[in-house]
Each structure stands twice: as C-alpha cells, then as structure tokens.
Amino acid sequence: MLWASESDVAANTEGMHRYKIIKKIGEGTFSDVVKTQSLKDGKFYACKTMKQTINSLEQANNLREVQAMKRLSPHANIIQLHELIFNKETGTVSLICELMEMNIYEYIQGRQTPLPEHTVKQYMYQLCKSLEHMHSCGIFHRDVKPENILIKQNILKLGDFGSCRSVYSKPPHTEYISTRWYRAPECLLTDGYYSLKMDIWSTGCVFFEIMSLNPLFPGTNELDQVAKIHDVLGTPEHSVLQKFKQSRAMHFNFPPKKGSGISRLIPNCPAPALSLLYQMLAYDPDERITAETALRHTYFREIRLAEKKADTLHRVSGIVDGVGSGETHSSLQHIWRQTRLGKQLRGRHTRQTPLMSHNMKHVAEPVIRRNVAHYSSELPKLNMVVPGPQISFPVSTVPAFTVTHRGTLPAITSKKCQSRLAKPRDESHRTAFKTYYMPPLERKHGGF
C-alpha cells in the first residue's frame, strides 16, 4: 500500500559525498544508522542506509517508509525526513533525518532510580500525540518499542516507519511485525488479524517500562509471551478468546489464571497512571483505548491545562504585538469575527435585541475613551431596527392616528397635547382641527 506524498523532500542520485560520516549509532535487521555532518551547512543528521537494494529513484520514493514519513511530516513528535539519497552504482537508499540524542531504551538502561513522574508523563503524552497523528493520517506503526522512540532533552519523537501499514489495508497482515515483548494478543493469537489498536498495546508496554525500568512481558517465545501476559492480566473470558479463532498455529486451551495485576509490579504507581495503563493493555482490542481518547485521560490533565494556558498567552501576545502595526486591523477583525461566531455557535439569534444592542454599545465605548489611535477601518456597524409601540389619542381631543418610530422615544400623552391647543369654539374649528398634522419630534443634542 503506497501513500501519496504530502511534502516535498529533496531526492538526488549524487551519493553521500556531501556528507561526512562521524560514527555509527545504530544497526538493525534492515538498515544501518550513522551520524553524519553536512558539508554544506555543518549541521548534524542521522543517516539511515537500507540494506535492500533498489533499482531506481522512483522505486526509492515509493518505499513505504519514505511515503509514510512524507505524509506524516511535519509533526512535533514524528522524526523529520530531510533528504533522500539514491546511489545508482550500488542501488542503496539513504534517508537523511534529523538527529536526536538517544532512544528510550538507551535512556533507561542501567538506571537505578525511576524517572521523575512529570518526565514520564511528558514523554507518554508526546508518544500518544505521535500515534494520534499517525492513526488520523491512516497509518499504524506496528513496531512501537523503546528503541524506536527517540528523545532530545524534553522532546520525544517516534521513528523507524519501516514496518508501518495503512489502516485501510484488509487483514490478514502476514508480514513480520513488532518485537515480541511489545506484541499485542491479537498479533500472537491470530495469523495477521490485527489493526491499529496493536500500537496502543505496545505503548502500554513502553509506559510500564519507562515507569519501572523493566519490561512488562519478556517472553522467550510466542507461547511464553502469551503465558507472561496471562500471568499478569489473567486468562481472558472465553468470549474474548473466540475473537481470535482465526489462528491456525496455536491451541486455545490456556489454563485459567487470575493474574497478579499490574499494581503489584509497580506499587507506587499513581492511580491515574494505573487507570490509563490498564485501558491501554485491555486484552480485547475492541475495549482498548484509542490514542485520541488517551490524550483526554485524567492522567494528562495538568499538561492539557498548561497547553491551553500557553496557547491563550500566545494568542494574546500576538494581538498585543500587532497594535500600532499593519496587523492591527486584521487582529481587530479577527476578534470581531470570533465574538460573532461564538454567539452563533452558542445558539444565540443574530438579530440584536434592545438589551443586546445596549450591551454592545458599552463594549465599544472603552476603545474611544482610551484615546487609542484611529484606524483606517472600523468594526462592522450594527443595524438595529426596534419597532415602537402604537399610540392612539382619544377622538374627543385629537383625531386617532398612529405613530411608528425608531428608537425608544417617550410616549406622548393626550394631556400634554391638550395643554398646547386652544379649545375649539364651534364645529367649523373642530373640522379644521381634524385635518391637523402633528410634526415629528426631533432629537436635540442627544435629548428629546
């Protein structure tokens, strides 16, 4: 399954002569990784050279790993692909990527004391963000493990997309996937009937390992791997095991076990962390939490609040910095649009009532009072039409007529009109009076 490129990445056939190899930093089944330095700008990069040979540059660009990295880029928690190099003579492909300090396995290896709780929380939040982005882009990793999670100071990035797959590809998936210790039950008990939820199981295993500094399920083979899982989580219900009956290689006569539970393995684990851990390690993939939902878990509440506060401060500072510059008008327009949109989203009517128009008038007044510099454009004017009451006068005094006006003028009483008119002396005067037209009242200096 190939994905269309979502970003442009430099690709050439000039070889590695523009980079200086510093040292080897990793080796895997399918590739070698070295630290390199660009002779052009002096920056350091990680160069991953594939062991498989390729026939053309087009074929190199169509590699699943290359396509995935292009689609996922840019993201704060995904390794960035800087350049693709194809060597025509040797047929090798090299991926020039951003250089990180170390992977999670190297970070926790040999530690005697656990990592600070806030560090674990930050790393897990970023890992969940990387998976949420991947899954929303239609890709799942299939090999989440400490060695493929890279860190640099407080930043975590997911790397090595050589085993990734499209979420839309139909099972069975028969290719080699995931390191055994981080393999989900559906990967162990079926012949390729698994989905993106396997990434969440692997993330739960990594979560436990970061907290305890020890692997959760270190099985020596697939049967032992299943036994290790049952030792901790217990043997699942028969109805759950029935979902894995697509397997041809394994019998399902597992001895019933209650399971020791995760809390006994990490007794000092905070309750919110334990809650998230159990949801990630749900035996049934249908019951397993998603990356998107994991980001909203109580365990990450403080990080979410801090992100929201930082985002608010960033927006406010951007508006303040724009005052007095060419950006001011656009900032004010943005505020106006957000206010109007917010009211519509809350279900309010767009027509202004007298009370709302009164409030809007007072909101706009401080801008004038504070002597802010005049801008070339003003906020949109509010067109308000308020139907006034219909007023009738007695026939004995003034002929009945109807006044419809705009605004909120005081009602005119018949007594006031009588005091200004002479009493008619005969019928001829009364007839003339009936044809009299009363001139409209005019505002004078804001009054009536």
Which residues are catalytic, by number? 143
CB atoms within 10 A of CB 262: 18
Give the span between the Cα atoms of 153 and 27, in whole angstroms. 23
48 is in an annotated binding site: yes
Residue ranges of alpha helices (H) inside 83-221 are 104-108, 117-136, 185-189, 197-212
**C-alpha distances out from residue 414 to 373, 398, 401, 418, 422, Å:** 49, 8, 12, 6, 14
Quick one: 81 exposed, middle or buried, by C-beta within 10 A (0-12, 13-18, 19+)? buried
Handedness of CA 54, 199, 296, 139 (dihedral sign): positive
Q: Are 160 and 178 in contact (CB under 8 A)?
A: no
Reading the block at residue 76, the tokens are: 């704060």
Q: Are 53 and 91 in contact (CB under 8 A)?
A: yes
- Amino acid identity, residue 419? S
The dihedral region occupied by 368, where left means phi > 0, alpha psi between -120 and 50, and beta the remainder, is alpha
Q: What is the maximum alpha-carbon separation in the chain?
A: 122
Q: Are 75 and 127 in contact (CB under 8 A)?
A: no
- The residues, ordered by sequence, that sit 6+ positions from 75 with a Cβ below 8 Å of its Cβ are 130, 133
Reading the block at residue 50, the tokens are: 């594939």
Place of tokens 């390794």: 79
- The residues, ordered by sequence, that sit 6+ positions from 177 with a Cβ below 8 Å of its Cβ are 142, 143, 163, 183, 187, 194, 198
- Amino acid identity, residue 40? K
Bond into 272 cis (ω within 30): no
Give the annotated binding-site residues for ATP. Answer: 48
Give the annotated binding-site residues. Answer: 48
